[in-house]
Structure 1
Amino acid sequence: MSSDLTQSPSRAHGLICGTLEPGPRNTITDIGGVSVGHRTLNTGDLRTGFTAIVPHPGNLFREKLPAAVEVINGFGKSAGLIQVDELGTLETPILLTNTFGVGTGVNALIRRSIAENPEIGRSTGTINPVVMECNDGYLSDIQAMALSEADAEAALNAAGSTVEQGSVGAGTGMSAFGFKGGIGTASRVFELGGRQHRLAALVLANFGRPGDLVLPDGRRPHPKEARQSEERGSVIVVLATDVPLESRQLKRIARRAGAGLARLGAFYGNGSGDIALAFSTAGRTAHFEESDFIARDVLREDKIDVLFQATAETTQESVLNAMIASPAMRGRGRSKRASLADWLRVQA
């Protein structure tokens, strides 16, 4: 693999998370069919946006994917997670945004799904939009409620194979460990059944107390201007893989995102909304299935450890990428966040 393609913001600073090899891009779009798009609002007192993860290029309502949710700490205001947990399927793209943008994202996904499937809510069931959030109110005027359905649609329409990281889309106004946070992603490759498979993560990083961050080499960065505070942030981890899995196995994998967060020094504080959603691009379920039974391949349980390892590694690296790719930022009022990349350059 080309080192240029797999180079990530963290790897550029010599920070290596784990031992598995990264995928060709070292992003979530290494999983075939997955695409990502952003809509960024960075003007005046606004530092916010939408990030869209499109799991496959087809009609997700008609061809659902196996999925699962793990709520590590439930201080969050997301939408659609109850049905994903109950039915084990994903039937819309995933939108990430700020806390007060969830309803707007829900409406955008509903309208998009109805446009593609006019029978929704008429001759068949309704749609389960999935929108997850973090609070960007420190750097952005969250009370402005500035995001529109057109912004959500723009993120969905921008989805492609290249994933911009850092202060973009939903990550524009986020903070992590007292530094600037944002959007980050990473992937891993491994062999199962004589074939190469992949697992990848994309995170919305907005969590962690200043001084708690632990780098892979053991250093503990602390931004000078950030004071120690309660853990009141949040982190969303979206995991994708091409390994055939059932929803129960995906939930086990999602749970291991917590291992990656813990490696960074997180302890999931009372006010932190830490949620992981995992899906597989293998084993689609047709909405209008005619058979009473569905035959599909499923991974042997005793072969799942490599996916657990990949989850921990990609989650850890994705958070570091989100932080390192984000430059220092000033926001609403006198708010500001330092860049972890600047701290690393000073220490080099």
Structure 2
Amino acid sequence: MRARLRDLGLKVGYLPTGPLNAITDVAGVRVGHVTVIEDNPHVLRTGVTAIHPLNVPYWEETVFAGFHNYNGFGEVTGSHWIEETGILTSPICIGSAFSVGVLRDTLLANPQRNGIDERLHQPMAGETFDGVLNDGWHGPITRSHVEDALAAAKTGPVEEGAVGGGTGMMCHEFKGGIGTSSRVVDGPHGSFTVGALVQSNYGNRKDLIIDGVPVGRHIGYDITDSPQRRDEGSIVIVVATDAPLLPPQCRRLARRAGIGLGRVGGFGSNRSGDFIIAFSTANRLPFQDTGIVGGLKMYPNEEMNDLFRAVAEAVEEAIVNSMTAAGTMQGKDGTVVHALPLDRLVEVMALYGRGPQTEKVKV
């Protein structure tokens, strides 16, 4: 049975988590998965993950957002509109590089299929490449899969690991996929939550770091093999908060998500698509913005440091959860991507004073 990092008696960071330790700790945020695992006529290990920013249909209200391109070898549709306006006008769908087109097209048509005839949004769809395990050249993801993921989105606990868009992904040469985490910031203006959800598919084994511990150096290929020695790969990071941020502040938050990625050992290699979308649910905007919007709220820039720490910690833990939750998977051509061995992880972390044991080695 796989586990989350904290189920193992381990953690990263200092700030407290939300009750679910998930992006859905931000009120109204909903997540849905569709997982596609088939062996005939083609070997499919793929799926779709959908994130709704609010608890209402997106053709009713929208939110402020920011986008950061840590390294651009990949695709996130709709990012130009966020750069232009600072407004996220659709759910965020993430999946396979083979399927980003159908994700985008389905999001584009979705309002019309629900009786909204006028096109007023730019669909946001992101991808990472699952071709190590998934025979994606046959285009297995359909509009129905995307619509089902959108319809399945709900609040509450979020399934992690080899599910949804993360089904066929690998991270630091272990099985990866979907991971999530959250942090709560208490300040003079109240309590606010920052949540992160990742689709992890990047990284070399030797670079893997968890809570400052060089875990990847202790779990060599003699312990857990890898079908592919690589530096390349990609990650899509979605950040949500209920702190009242304006678009430039959302961009600032998105950039700090890269700190969490770096802490785990991602450095944005040349052929890596590392993309971050951050949105705030505090200012809810009418979908048809034909009038002046009043009553907007703005968090003080001088007090954003705790939010920066929160997003770095949440992203760091979300990436680790994407690995600890994912089991070993066999895919196309018999390729096997092995799970991060949890017993060995606990042993390595204990050597450095992490977890229930406190004895440290000299480093």
Equivalences for residues 1-348 of structure 1 within 5 A: 9-44=4-39, 45-116=43-114, 118-121=116-119, 126-161=120-155, 162-216=157-211, 218-221=213-216, 222-224=219-221, 225-226=225-226, 229-289=229-289, 291-292=291-292, 294-342=294-342, 343-344=344-345
Counterpart residue identity of residue 150, structure 1: S
Offset at residue 294 of structure 1 (A): 3.0
Offset at residue 177 of structure 1 (A): 0.5
Which region of structure 1 is more displaced relative to structure 2, 202-211 or 221-230? Answer: 221-230
1: CA distance between counterparts of 2:298 and 2:73?
33
Offset at residue 215 of structure 1 (A): 1.5
2: CA distance between counterparts of 1:223 and 1:41?
31
2: CA distance between counterparts of 1:11 and 1:275?
26
Residues 133-182 of structure 1 show CA distances to partners (whole Å, capped at 9, x for unaligned) of 00000011111210000000111111112210000000000000010000
**Counterpart for residue 3 of structure 1:** none
Counterpart residue identity of residue 188, structure 1: R
Counterpart residue identity of residue 159, structure 1: A
2: CA distance between counterparts of 1:310 and 1:254?
12
Structure 1 unmatched ranges of 5 or more: 1-7
Offset at residue 117 of structure 1 (A): 5.1
Given that 1:203 and 1:236 are in contact with CA atoms closer than 8 Å, whether structure 2 keeps it comes out as yes
Given that 1:96 and 1:170 are in contact with CA atoms closer than 8 Å, whether structure 2 keeps it comes out as yes
Offset at residue 276 of structure 1 (A): 0.4
Against the structure 1 CA distance between its residues 345 and 194, is the aligned structure 2 distance closer, same or farther, given a 3 Å change threshold? closer
SS of 2:165's equivalent in the other structure is: helix
Offset at residue 290 of structure 1 (A): 5.3
Offset at residue 196 of structure 1 (A): 1.5
Offset at residue 220 of structure 1 (A): 2.0
Offset at residue 263 of structure 1 (A): 0.6
Offset at residue 284 of structure 1 (A): 1.3
Given that 2:173 and 2:230 are in contact with CA atoms closer than 8 Å, whether structure 1 keeps it comes out as no
Against the structure 1 CA distance between its residues 295 and 173, is the aligned structure 2 distance closer, same or farther, given a 3 Å change threshold? same
TM-score by length of 2: 0.89
Counterpart residue identity of residue 35, structure 2: T
Offset at residue 98 of structure 1 (A): 0.3
Given that 2:58 and 2:287 are in contact with CA atoms closer than 8 Å, whether structure 1 keeps it comes out as no
Across the aligned residues of Structure 1 and Structure 2, the Cα RMSD in angstroms comes to 1.7
2: CA distance between counterparts of 1:10 and 1:260?
15
**Counterpart for residue 5 of structure 1:** none
SS of 1:82's equivalent in the other structure is: helix
1: CA distance between counterparts of 2:220 and 2:193?
35
SS of 2:199's equivalent in the other structure is: strand
Percent identity over the alignment is: 36
Give the aligned length.
337
Which region of structure 1 is more displaced relative to structure 2, 176-185 or 75-84? Answer: 75-84
2: CA distance between counterparts of 1:272 and 1:289?
36
